[in-house]
Structure 1
């Protein structure tokens, strides 16, 4: 459990710099240069992700069950993942309606992903992993939206159906790939069983 918690703490500390110290981040970014900042950020993120995976796998080897989710929760989670992947597509594809309207579709994707996995998994490792991501994404979204409103941020730019269709296509292709191939081969569990 300690390795998982250590990985989560490192991950969230690194990913919360912009949240809690935006001026320091910008100053460091300009002093060190974009490439150096991104390399350090990426290496620390990789380290944290490795700790999270190792700790999660250790805890899953000897699970501590908090509840036993009903079978239908897996099917609901699979459907929610389609929604989460649409928000991922909306975040990575420029000029989508979701990006223009809410500003932070990737945080919405993390919220939906974490919630979907919380309802369909009931052991302590899942609660620690997905619960912490859910709390972090909710807090981050609220802080960023409040900061944007205070600063009077208006998202300009052309959004439209072609960009949203691209996000939807991304979601469908990703969902089918994950559900019918990747989830089973990487995680070892089929989301549809």
Structure 2
């Protein structure tokens, strides 16, 4: 469990600098230069992500059961995850209605993904991983929306084409991940 916790601290910590240390972050970007700052940021993120993956695998070997979710919540998680994939797609597809309405659909996608997994799993390592990502995404979403209001940030209006493309990309990515990649990467199939 310590490796998982260290990975979460590194990964979520570096992704929380805008919330908790924006002034320090700005000074470091200016001191190091944009390219070196991005390189260091990416390196810390990758190390944190690798530790999360390794630590999660280690924690699964000594699983501690906290609660047993009803089977219906496992099925509901498929819907939560589908919604999450569409929201993440909305972060990248230009001029869609989700980005126009929420500004930060990727963070909403992380929230929905983490919440769904908290409902569907009951092991301590699951609660730690998904709970940490849920709390981080909520905090960053709130901070990002406040910053948008303070700075007067407006997102381009959504179009039917952009929204349709978002939906198609999200659904196809979800289907591929649920059918093949989840088993290959995580070691279990959500499709049963």
State the TM bucket, normalised to the shorter chain: over 0.9
Q: CA deviation at 1:156?
A: 4.3
1:144 counterpart residue number: 144
Mapping of residues 62-141 of structure 1, within 5 Å: 62-141=62-141
Runs of 4+ in structure 1 deviating by more than 4 angstroms, as ranges, are none
Unaligned ranges ≥5, structure 1: none
1:166 counterpart residue number: 165
Mapping of residues 28-43 of structure 1, within 5 Å: 28-43=28-43
- In the alignment, the residues of structure 1 paired with residue 155 and residue 76 of structure 2 have an alpha-carbon distance, to the nearest angstrom, of 35
1:175 counterpart residue number: 174
- In the alignment, the residues of structure 1 paired with residue 136 and residue 155 of structure 2 have an alpha-carbon distance, to the nearest angstrom, of 27
- In the alignment, the residues of structure 2 paired with residue 83 and residue 21 of structure 1 have an alpha-carbon distance, to the nearest angstrom, of 31
8 Å CA contact 2:91–2:104 kept in 1: the answer is yes
8 Å CA contact 2:82–2:170 kept in 1: the answer is yes
Task: Map Cα deviations across residues 67-87 of structure 1 (whole Å, 9 max, x no partner).
Answer: 111222121101111100111
- In the alignment, the residues of structure 1 paired with residue 87 and residue 127 of structure 2 have an alpha-carbon distance, to the nearest angstrom, of 23
8 Å CA contact 2:148–2:154 kept in 1: the answer is no
Aligned residues: 192
